Amino acid sequence: MIARRTALGLLGGLAGAALMPGSLSAKAGRKPPRLRSGDTVGLVAPASALTLPDELDRAIHWITGMGLVPKLGQHVGEQYGYLAGTDAARASDLDAMFADPDVRAIFAIRGGWGGARILPLLDWNGIRDNPKLLIGYSDTTALHLAIAARAGFATLHAPNGASSWQKESWDSLWQIAFAAGTPVLGGAGVEDAVGRPARTLTGGTARGRLLGGNLTILSTLMGTGWLPDFDGAILFVEDINEDPYRVDRMFQQLKLGGILDRVGGVIFGQCTRCGSPAPDSDTFTLDDVVDQYLGALGKPAIAGFDTGHVGNQLSLPVGVDVEFDATARTLRMLDPAVA
């Protein structure tokens, strides 16, 4: 198991970070509880099996380094093909964590594929009655969007439990989940962060509910009844290992399905290893595709925001009202995600 001391030193030094200015007024309706040092949090595997070396150990390492106490789902060590147990087993783990009064939040250990398969099996009445932050990204997008549609409380698009929790990821998590703050996320300085440079496609500001996640998972859920209402929303998407023509196909699906026309603004995050050809090749680059769809919307839009399959990705509050400034490339939370 990875030594715990390094994580405690890194994370402990960040816990005193100052909050960005913002309103702390709460809206009507139940919110997930904020996290506190010593809280118990659930670790579940709602999608792919834990087959990578020391994957579970890494998750325990990071969670304990945050000052939290991990509680493992009953089936996290199982394997059913490429899945972490049967659909029923994975769904029962998630249901149990929402129902457990001692569990304050839930981390997905990893993504992969499989979250969409358990959506019809979940106890949605129990989830609605016990709002808790679900934390993770990639395939966890299916659960984020379904919770936004069926339960209506905030979740966090953030590193999975076994991901590398670097400074920006932890700092934004702490401000949102522990301090119940309303931080400003991103900014022009994101150009110097990681991955492809951030750039403004269309300037301006828009306010709306922040919704999105992995582009592949989002497009997979279209037409299923498991997506929230995107009218006026601020949409963010990210992906990995997709050629430009596949990103084109998924954006076209969002366009034909009416999502791109209904949202108030769009954030294209990092697209890691997305196969953009050399600039002089006789085909479309990823930037060409992004510009064709998002640059033509006439709405605030940016590309290269610090979210996705990269180190130091920001923790983003799914389902929370935000102000999106495409010129400054920032998201300002308008309401705390937790109570």
Residue positions annotated with a catalytic role: 138, 238, 309
Whole-Å CA distances, 270 to 95, 215, 238, 257, 330: 31, 11, 5, 23, 15
* β-strand partners of 238: 214
State the Rg of the chain over Cα. 19
Rounded Cα distance between 324 and 314, Å, is: 15
Rounded Cα distance between 24 and 88, Å, is: 39
**Is 93 in contact with 75 (CB distance < 8 Å)?**
yes
Whole-Å CA distances, 247 to 226, 264, 277: 21, 21, 14
Q: 3-state DSSP helix/strand/coil percent for the chain, to nearest 5?
A: 30, 20, 45
- Burial class of residue 205 in the structure, from the number of CB atoms within 10 Å of its CB (0-12 exposed, 13-18 middle, 19+ buried): middle
Going by DSSP bridges, is the β-strand pair 205-214/234-240 parallel, antiparallel, or unpaired? Answer: parallel
CB count in 10 Å sphere of residue 197: 10
- Pick from 63, 62, 107, 109: nearest CA to 84: 109
Provide the terminal-to-terminal Cα distance of the chain, rounded to the nearest Å.
34
Q: What is the DSSP string of 277-339?
A: PPTTSSS--HHHHHIIIIITS-S-EEE--S-SSSTTPPPEEET-EEEEETTTTEEEESS-S--
Half-sphere exposure (Cβ direction) of 162: Cα atoms closer than 13 Å: 23
Dihedral pair phi/psi, residue 83, rounded to 5°: -100, 160
